[in-house]
Structure 1
Amino acid sequence: MDPKPHFETLARYNRWANRRLYEVAAQLSDAQFREDRGAFFGSVRGTLNHILVADRVWLERIEGEGPKPSSLDEILHDGFAGLRTAREAEDERILRVLAATPAERFESVLSYRSMAGTPHELPFAQIVTHIFNHQTHHRGQAHTLLSQFGLDAPSIDFVYFLLETK
């Protein structure tokens, strides 16, 4: 099986889920967006910034270029509007990177350095899987935070994406 179409589907799902989550997060006041609720990255602001940071770290490793955040808790965008715009652009970047990736690269190994500078090698397909799994994990945290504010957090399960877009 050629894994490329599968990863392109995950990238489209990723964009869909992020859009749905951000639509609800847009209902937060600025104070709510910033409020530390005891989540791993504190707030909705911290959690959504972390997802963007991690995507940029991995895409820089994959492409060998692009923004390279200095820490996993870096706040790239202080306000919601700028963060939302950056998220939409990053989702499009993920789609472009996967579209430009030759199918055989999914069978290769990616050599990279961790944030601490430690060298690692992992199968490229597993790295791409990690990117999407990581987003799902932290979107779940953001989803919980939105629910804690009394907002109607959206259904963002993969199966709903498949049913809606088939």
Structure 2
Amino acid sequence: MDPKPHFETLARYNSWANRRLYEVASQLSDAQFREDRGAFFRSVRGTLNHILVADRVWLERIEGAGPKPSSLDEILFDDFADLRAAREAEDERILRVLAATADERFESVLSYRSMAGTPHELPFAQVLTHVFNHQTHHRGQAHGLLSQFGLEAPSIDFVYFLLEPK
């Protein structure tokens, strides 16, 4: 399998799933958006911010530029509308980064430092796999939180993305 088209498909899926999730989340009141529901990042606000934080951390490592959050639980955007706009922009950034990535980079190793400053090296393609897997994991948590509020959380399985007419 050619890795570049594979990861570009995952990036398009990622954007599709985020749009669907945010559409339902937009139905929350501000109090519900912020309410501590006992999730790992406490609230829908905390969970959706964490996904954006992690994407920015990894994209800064991949590109060597861009916003660099200071902690994994940082609230980058307190307001839902601002967070949604930032999420859409970040999804576009992911697509642009992948489009600009040379084919040979998918076979390379990414050297980076953890947020604590520890040096690491991982295969670049595996880092990308982590980025998309991480989003899926935490989108699932946000999906569960939306269901707790009685909202009809959207179908965001990858197969539904693949089956949707393009």
Give me the identity figure in percent. Answer: 90
CA distance in 2, matches of 1:73, 1:45: 10
* Residue 64 (structure 1) shift: 0.1
* Residue 92 (structure 1) shift: 0.1
* Residue 165 (structure 1) shift: 3.8
CA distance in 2, matches of 1:145, 1:103: 38
CA distance in 2, matches of 1:134, 1:154: 19
Report the count of equivalent residues: 166
* Residue 105 (structure 1) shift: 0.3
CA distance in 1, matches of 2:78, 2:94: 22
CA distance in 1, matches of 2:36, 2:129: 30
CA distance in 2, matches of 1:75, 1:96: 25
TM-score, scaled relative to structure 1: 0.99
* Residue 2 (structure 1) shift: 1.6
Look up the match of 2:72.
Answer: 72
* Residue 93 (structure 1) shift: 0.1
CA distance in 2, matches of 1:13, 1:86: 17
Q: Deviations over 1:111-142 (max 9, x none)?
A: 00001100000000000000000000000000
Q: Deviations over 1:85-104 (max 9, x none)?
A: 00000000000000000111
Q: Which runs of 5+ in 1 are unaligned?
A: none
CA distance in 1, matches of 2:105, 2:12: 20
Q: Equivalent residue of 1:83, what SS?
A: helix
Q: Equivalent residue of 1:155, what SS?
A: coil
* Residue 61 (structure 1) shift: 0.0
CA distance in 2, matches of 1:63, 1:17: 24
Q: Which runs of 5+ in 2 are unaligned?
A: none
